Amino acid sequence: MVRITGVSTWTISRRCRANVPSRLNLSKTASRNNSWRMRPRSNAGWRGITRSIDQPTTCKMRLRLRLRLTNNLGAQPRVIHQREHGTMTFRMGLFLFLLQLTLYPTINSSAQMTPPDYTVERVYEIPFVTSMVWAPDGRMFFTEKGGLVHVAQADGSLQADPVVQLDARTLNEEGLQSIVLDPEFATNHYFYVYYTEADPAPDDPLNPFRNLVVRYTEVDGVATDPVTMLEFPVDDSGGHNHNGGRLRFGPDGYLYLSVGDLNHYNVYAQDPLRIEGKIHRFAVTDSGLQPAPDNPFPDSSVWAYGLRNAFSFVFDPLSDQLFSTENGPDCDDEVNRIERGGNYGWGIVPLPDGDAYEGYCERPERHFGAIEPLVTYAPTIAPTGIMIYDGAAFPEWYGDLFFCAFKPFEMYHVELDETRMDFASEIEVLSPGTQPGCAIEVAQGPDDLIYYTNTVGIYQIRPAPSP
């Protein structure tokens, strides 16, 4: 079963317009990458491939589509984008209407799922919580964008004073982004934070700025002994958006950090010598963060690149696969599976003729060889936190992926296939009932319940009480 949604326009060269077949057939190709091929229903001499349809003898035609393809076996949703200079765009309203009647919608981002077996309640009224982690003793450490690190005791009571107050600059997307506990926290009490410092120019609305990773030692609920582990170069040309960013220790023991393009747009995300637009992998040493020894690029901390603003990422506890959210410009918000040395396409100059998807954005050409996303959104939703559930409180969600979006305040749920590398179901929106939805972070607590945050508080998803 083939499913298609999100068709926007067709772009066809003028001399080919008369040769457009009235009906197209989509057929699956038996190939290693589980791709799809587009073929005409009649034998008109067209050959179809995933990214273009060519008439080799008389003219050349490219169809510019925004399609998400899947099948009932969980084939990977894809976005197809192609263009050709000197083309004209026209709408095929009747064709698209008939197409939608004969084909099913794919990943349905607006499908509401309101299971009767969970409830949502606010547990803390604290604004703009950007990340949450739990200590082995059950305490929850969480960060506030304004620079506060809080701790809640295992019984749920909130410590009166913050663990630390950072001097963070909070213009737009700047601020305290993330916290992670050291794998040996039970003995060394180390935790690490990633934030934008107010110095060296606290009163300058744009420039310069600097991001830091700092290690603290927690003693009786108080942060002590700050050590700067990573210091970005002072940036006097970027803006105050696209900082990323998430800190997480991987199953390999190395520290991973996502960093956006820092408002350098598409300039540095493809440069392995720059920190912007990457997911980094560090070894933690007494002298700070150093590139992990077996990273894909010599003497570089870069693990994956070509990312505009990977707000968060997560390691699958069942397979160690790495998944990330990505924020595009006015189109192409994504969820990606991150591969070692993978290029995710951001950082190429825009289309020279200003060609754009109608109603969406002027999209840069995707870098040759760039890895396609698992799903893409246009218009954008601003995907943020991401997690994979492996608890016992919700057995029906075991092994499933969840991610949140800032624009609609929504949480999305999707199943992964048996390989743990691809989606295997439609994407569903989880209803928060009467509460505001998830906008920033989502995480699983030690009680196997799901916690999420937005601009006004921290919320808990728990099984509904038995009737």
When mean pLDDT is compared across 152-166, 359-373, 405-419, the lowest value belongs to 359-373
Encode pLDDT of 1-55 as tens digits: 222 233 322 222 222 333 333 333 333 233 333 333 333 333 333 222 222 223 3
26 and 166 housed in the same domain:
no
pLDDT one-digit tens code per residue, 377-426:
988 999 999 999 999 999 999 999 999 999 999 999 999 999 999 999 99
| pLDDT at residue 232 in the model | 84
Q: Is the pLDDT of residue 456 over 80?
A: yes
Considering its fold, how many domains does the chain have in total? 2
Is residue 375 assigned to a domain? Answer: yes
224 part of a folded domain:
yes
pLDDT, tens only, 75-95: 233 333 322 333 323 333 333
Q: Regarding predicted confidence, which is higher, 27 or 327?
A: 327
Same domain, 118 and 98: no
Give the domain-ending residue among 57, 77, 102.
Answer: 102
How far does CA 234 lie from the centroid of its chain? Answer: 26
Q: Judge if 57 and 161 occupy the same domain.
A: no
Q: Is residue 2 part of a domain?
A: no
Residue 260 is predicted with a pLDDT of 87
* % of the chain with per-residue pLDDT over 90: 54
* Residues 97 and 207 grouped into a single domain: no
Last residue of a domain, one of 102, 125, 142: 102
Q: How far is CA 15 from CA 46, 47, 49, 59, 357, in A?
A: 16, 18, 21, 7, 21
Mean pLDDT computed over every residue of the chain: 75
What is the C-alpha to C-alpha distance for residues 348 and 75, in angstroms, rounded to an integer? 28
> Do 274 and 405 fall into the same domain?
yes
In terms of average pLDDT, the best of 36-45, 98-107, 199-208, 264-273 is 264-273
Residue 66 belongs to what domain range? Answer: 10-102
Residue 4 falls inside a structural domain: no
* pLDDT for the residue numbered 369: 77
Say whether both 53 and 195 belong to one domain: no
Asked if pLDDT for residue 321 goes beyond 70, the answer is yes
Question: Within this chain, do residues 81 and 230 fall inside the same structural domain, yes or no?
Answer: no
CATH number at residue 242: 2.120.10.30
Residue 305 lies in a domain: yes
Same domain, 52 and 130: no
Q: Is the pLDDT of residue 267 over 90?
A: no
Question: Is it the case that residue 149 has pLDDT exceeding 50?
Answer: yes
What pLDDT sits at residue 373? 93
Is residue 352 scored above 70 in pLDDT?
no
Give 328's pLDDT tier (boundaries 50, 70, 90).
Answer: confident
Domain end marker among 43, 75, 102: 102
Instruction: Indicate whether 124 pLDDT > 70.
Output: yes
pLDDT at 236: 52
| 88 and 173 in a common domain | no
Q: For residue 245, what pLDDT is reported?
A: 85
Q: Is residue 107 part of a domain?
A: no
Task: Determine the pLDDT at residue 206.
Answer: 58
In a domain, 345, yes or no: yes
The residue ranking higher by pLDDT, 331 or 429, is: 429
Name the more confident of 465 and 224. 224
| The pLDDT of residue 157 | 97
